[in-house]
Amino acid sequence: MKEIQVHDKKFRILVPSEKIQAGIAEVAGKINRELAGQKPLFICVLNGAFIFASDLLKKISIDCEISFIKLASYHGTTSSGEVKTLIGLDENVKNRTIVILEDIVDTGLTIETIVKQLSVYEPKGIKIATLLLKPDAYKKDIPIDYAALKVPNDFIVGFGLDYDGLGRNLEDIYVLSSPS
Ligand code: IMP
Ligand code: MG
């Protein structure tokens, strides 16, 4: 079994690139059917979703637009001490069908934050498309409309996902070999 090293940890292949592409093609097909005529605005959440967004968009055949956002952390005054705010959105979202493109939905905290902040701009509807979903970790009620692949509740790198900055460039998806 091929192992790779990222920083101090060893990872093994979980999903090879062909299987990733098949999952992405399936999501693209659904979106092409379900959102035809709605000219959706895809919003890619940087940094992690950039490769997923790129491969997915090449398979979208309906009229659409794409934009990019980031979640910036700052230390606020809430009890948790950290507030995340959405930056980079310059498109008019009002009355548009939005499809948020995420790399991974884990606990769902991030996607919940994004949906809340986007809702303020009164879109027609918000759909969520994620490369990866960890069903055993997901704790929120927001429906995940499109998930290319489901993964176990373990740490993942590759295809846009990083471990401390490294691994985003890997063509396959890897999982921690022996959780330490
Ligand atoms: P959530 O807010 O718990 O759903 O986590 C979402 C964010 O945490 C993702 O956008 C990733 O940036 C990061 N994340 C969660 N799980 C992993 C993982 O297994 N590998 C790398 N990043 C992860
Ligand atoms: Mg992310």
* Active-site option among 63, 90, 103, 106: 106
Ligand nearest to the CA of 48: 2
Residue 54 clears pLDDT 80, i.e. is over it: yes
63 labelled catalytic: no
Q: Give the model confidence (pLDDT) of 80-98 as tens digits.
A: 557 789 999 987 999 999 9
**What amino acid occupies position 115?**
V
The answer to whether the CB of 51 falls within 8 A of the CB of 76 is no
Q: Give the model confidence (pLDDT) of 96-125 as tens digits.
A: 999 999 999 999 999 999 999 999 999 999
9 CA to centre of ligand 1 in angstroms:
17
The answer to whether the CB of 93 falls within 8 A of the CB of 121 is yes
- What pLDDT is recorded for position 127? 98
* Residue of 104, 140, 173 to test ligand 1 pocket, by largest number of atoms within 8 Å of CB: 104
